[in-house]
Amino acid sequence: MATTIKDVAREAKVSVASVSRALNGSGGVTAATERRVREVAARLRYVPHGAARSLITRRTHTIGALLPDLHGEFFSELIRGIDLEARARGLHLLVSSSHNGADDAAVALRAMQGRVDGIVILSSPGVDADFLRANLPEGLPSVLLNSDVQGGSAAVLNIDNVAGTCAMVRHLVGLGHADIAFVSGPKDNFDARQREAGFRAAMAKLAPKAPLRIVAGNFSESSGYLAGRELLAAKPRPQAVFAANDMMAVGCLQAFKEAGLAVPGDIALAGFDDIPIARYVTPPLSTVRVRIAELGKNAMDLLADLMDRPGVSAASVHTLGCDIVVRESCGAHRNGGATARTSKTTKTTKTRPTTHSSPR
Amino acid sequence: MATTIKDVAREAKVSVASVSRALNGSGGVTAATERRVREVAARLRYVPHGAARSLITRRTHTIGALLPDLHGEFFSELIRGIDLEARARGLHLLVSSSHNGADDAAVALRAMQGRVDGIVILSSPGVDADFLRANLPEGLPSVLLNSDVQGGSAAVLNIDNVAGTCAMVRHLVGLGHADIAFVSGPKDNFDARQREAGFRAAMAKLAPKAPLRIVAGNFSESSGYLAGRELLAAKPRPQAVFAANDMMAVGCLQAFKEAGLAVPGDIALAGFDDIPIARYVTPPLSTVRVRIAELGKNAMDLLADLMDRPGVSAASVHTLGCDIVVRESCGAHRNGGATARTSKTTKTTKTRPTTHSSPR
DNA sequence: AGCCGCCATGAAAACGTTTACGTTGCACCC
DNA sequence: GGGTGCAACGTAAACGTTTTCATGGCGGCT
């Protein structure tokens, strides 16, 4: 039986109202009694019952995070970014990861009803505009991550996949690799679609004469390996391969090594994400870095804004820019002698963070 | 203004009590009214207010996870394991990561008071027996992860660092590398201490004549690099280096490569954790795998047990066994031709999961 | 036919807070 | 000296549920 506000009131010889006022610093209580109440509360180890408080306050001081069942760096970094910022604002974080499929997400969403003041949703296959219209409670402030739903009442925050892809293509073309093959990701993934679109656009602009080569992958290492083999068999071998994520690039690398090709000597290679593995493969992988923790922080900031002014349907679209980090796999370090041993010397180029906000 | 149980009651022409009974399936309501209530509830999109419910029920259906500010694989896998199992039991997960230092953890712990039915605490420097005695609420079911506090009212779940270390030492000795140097982790880390202790014990038993070489590290890659350099300068070079975690092993590898040494030809190498990077460095790193998601699942199971029977101070200590996974860096694959290209062929050996439970 | 007991239902209490409102005491001013 | 205003404090309502208890109806048994 935990100690309640009544116990404190009795012990401090005041009413419960005064205890509440003293502890919440809402004023209307003399300094002496406030001190007495605080002391008694500390002695009794009183901590207010969260449920009771949020029942009357209509505030839970908790935000929810709805994530698909993904493991690895992205997940942890995102949570970390959100949690760090949430904690700075005195908010708690209720996570619901590890659901796959729309039905699963729907029950998770319903269950969060009334337990959170706002919600961050990382979109996944099945979680689209229709899903949200059907399942997202009306007044609940929400931020959509990596989503292409436009209208709605939620703010949307996306990685600038297009700019990132474009920057990498520009870099590769600048190195003389105009004939770039792209390994795409799963069609039902938002980032994958954007990256492919970005690649098409970049090639059209920067290397219009090069053939457009796109081979299908699904973000897995093995699909990258297969794609690598397929590309090796292509008649004129591409000068460079740009994979839509790092794991597929690693798969490609394996295929190239098996075929006895030197990277980047015979063929250049680049990925997307900058997962930790990228810097440890040989040669270290050039890639596009997305600052995931920052993505989480920004999402939390956006959500806090929405929570501050209720009722205002501040639907907006924001974008987080990404850097390209140049290691050895793309051939930029080829000149100047030894290829190895300089894995620490990377050059990063930032795409301008197009935080283009379009409230409607 | 969300719809409440009263709205449903009015619309279905029954009392709120009947609505509650119908929706909770507590019986005592005719099939016809139950159907009518359910239908109205669905139409009105009624979802019970969590705070109100847990105010009366004394159940939040939420468990808390208190974690230090660690990023990367361990964090995400642990959360994933916990969440997966929690979700299977209809529980929510309130995480509070990103605190460093005991004070920070204390406020996080207080804040969880009354918001959770149980709590999983991953111990970190500062979070020790005294801390828990002072800050852990009396009746709250709790599971301590990687902790050496013994008494208390909490269940303790540990990785079997000793068995894992021992298994790796046995493997190395079996390959003929009796002269093993150990790179230790930070002194204030529980796993690090256990692994070092395990190494000492294993060497005393399996290679009593070999010199005991231990060089200090702090789990970081750079500290591993430094340790590697130090070991290279040692008069008789050790036959093998066993790092207390994979990141340090990677640092060692870098040092060895720089010095022109072949791994495992000139010196064998092993790590601990089996982080994803381990399989992608060259040569792939032999290591001790800890199944982190399973650790999280087991913690959740333990916690659920504690929550089921309240009052029973079922303090106990459990251990999760770990596998050793043999790749190329330790030299087991040296025979049989090419060193490369077989990075997929690994052999894993399981230490018996010593789930030794000692209720007191 | 009358009574007993069960079952569906409703009324109301309870959970632990916050807060609107009322009450008191006191200083101040006319 | 009495009215006025303000500050401190207490009382009670309210939040949305669950659950206990009472009540009525009805079927079955004697």
Q: What would the pLDDT profile of B231-242 be if each residue is shown by its tens digit?
A: 999 989 999 999
In angstroms, the CA A199 to CA B61 distance is 46
Q: Are B213 and B155 in contact (CB under 8 A)?
A: no
The pLDDT, as a whole number, for residue B151 is 66
Q: Helix A5-12 vs helix A16-24: angle between axes, to the nearest 10 degrees?
A: 100
pLDDT tens track for B146-170: 888 876 778 999 999 999 999 999 9
The pLDDT, as a whole number, for residue A240 is 96
Nearest to B47 among A50, A96, A114 (CB): A114
Contact A277 B277 (CB under 8 A): yes
Measured CA to C1', what is the nucleotide nearest B56? C15
Mutation choice for A interface testing from B62, B75, B97, B99 by most A CBs within 10 A: B97
If you ran DSSP here, which 8-state letter would residue A352 be given?
A: P
Q: How far is the CA of A131 from the C1' of C5 (A)?
A: 51
Residue of B nearest to A293 (CA): B71
B71-99 average pLDDT score: 87
**pLDDT of B333 over the 70 cut:** no
Question: Which residue is nearest to the C1' sugar atom of D15, using CA?
Answer: A56
Contact A94 B93 (CB under 8 A): yes
| Winning range, highest mean pLDDT, from B20-24, B113-117, B340-344 | B20-24
Pairing between strand A347-350 and A323-326? antiparallel
Q: How far is the CA of A59 from the C1' of C8 (A)?
A: 37
In angstroms, the CA B259 to CA B239 distance is 15
Q: Across the A/B interface, how many CB contacts are shorter than 8 Å? A: 143
Question: Which residue is nearest to the C1' sugar atom of D12, using CA?
Answer: A17
Instruction: Give yes or no for a cis peptide into A283 (omega within 30° of 0).
Output: yes
**pLDDT of B358 over the 60 cut:** no
The pLDDT, as a whole number, for residue B105 is 87
Chain C bases near protein Cβ (<7 Å): 7-12, 14-20
CB proximity A54–strand C (7 Å threshold): no
CB proximity A45–strand C (7 Å threshold): no
Task: Per residue of chain A (360 residues), give pLDDT as tens.
Answer: 688 999 999 999 999 999 999 999 888 899 999 999 999 999 999 999 999 999 999 999 999 999 988 777 788 889 989 999 999 998 999 998 878 888 888 888 888 888 899 999 998 888 888 888 888 887 789 999 988 887 677 899 999 999 999 999 999 999 999 999 999 999 988 999 999 999 999 999 999 999 999 999 999 999 999 999 999 999 899 999 999 999 999 999 999 999 999 999 999 999 999 988 999 999 999 999 999 999 999 999 999 999 987 666 668 899 999 999 999 999 876 443 332 222 233 344 555 444 444 333
Q: How far is the CA of B31 from the C1' of C5 (A)?
A: 22
pLDDT tens track for B196-251: 999 999 999 999 999 999 999 999 999 999 999 999 999 899 999 999 999 999 99
Pairing between strand B92-99 and A92-99? antiparallel
User: Residue B336 burial (CB < 10 Å; 0-12/13-18/19+)?
Assistant: exposed
**pLDDT of B340 over the 50 cut:** no
Q: Which domains does chain A have, with CATH numbers?
A: 5-48 (1.10.260.40), 62-159+293-320 (3.40.50.2300), 161-291+323-350 (3.40.50.2300)
Nearest to A83 among B98, B139, B282 (CB): B98
The pLDDT, as a whole number, for residue A148 is 83
Helix, strand and coil content of chain A, in percent to the nearest 5, comes to 40, 15, 40
CB proximity A59–strand C (7 Å threshold): no
Output phi, psi for B100, to 5 deg: -130, 130
Residue of B nearest to A98 (CA): B84
Residue of A nearest to B104 (CA): A87
pLDDT tens track for B7-65: 999 999 999 999 999 999 888 899 999 999 999 999 999 999 999 999 999 999 999 99
The pLDDT, as a whole number, for residue A311 is 62
Residue of B nearest to A4 (CA): B114
The pLDDT, as a whole number, for residue B123 is 85
Residues of B in contact with A341 (CB under 8 A): 257-258
Three-state SS letters, chain B = CCCCHHHHHHHHCCCHHHHHHHHHCCCCCCHHHHHHHHHHHHHCCCCCCHHHHHHHHCCCCEEEEEEECCCCHHHHHHHHHHHHHHHHCCCEEEEEEEECCHHHHHHHHHHHCCCCCEEEEECCCCCCHHHHHHHCCCCCCEEEECCCCCCCCCEEEEECHHHHHHHHHHHHHHCCCCCEEEEECCCCCHHHHHHHHHHHHHHHHHCCCCCCEEEECCCCHHHHHHHHHHHHHCCCCCCEEEECCHHHHHHHHHHHHHCCCCCCCCCEEEEEECCHHHHCCCCCCEEEECCHHHHHHHHHHHHHHHHHCCCCCCCCEEEECCEEEECCCCCCCCCCCCCCCCCCCCEEEECCCCCCCCCC
The least confident of A37-41, B66-70, B320-324 is B66-70
Mutation choice for A interface testing from B4, B85, B87 by most A CBs within 10 A: B87
pLDDT tens track for B259-301: 999 999 999 999 999 988 999 999 999 999 999 999 999 999 9
In angstroms, the CA B41 to CA B60 distance is 22
CB proximity B55–strand C (7 Å threshold): yes
Tokens of A329: 């796999």
The pLDDT, as a whole number, for residue A344 is 31
Give the SS3 label for residue A299. helix
In angstroms, the CA B45 to CA B38 distance is 10
Q: How far is the CA of B24 from the C1' of C6 (A)?
A: 22
Q: How far is the CA of A143 from the C1' of D13 (A)?
A: 36
Contact B55 A52 (CB under 8 A): yes
Q: How far is the CA of A28 from the C1' of C21 (A)?
A: 14
Task: Grade residue B354 by pLDDT with cuts at 50, 70 and 90.
Answer: very low
Residues of A in contact with B76 (CB under 8 A): 71-73, 75-76, 79
Contact A73 B75 (CB under 8 A): no
Those residues whose C-beta lies under 8 Å from the C-beta of residue B88, and which sit 6 or more positions away, are none
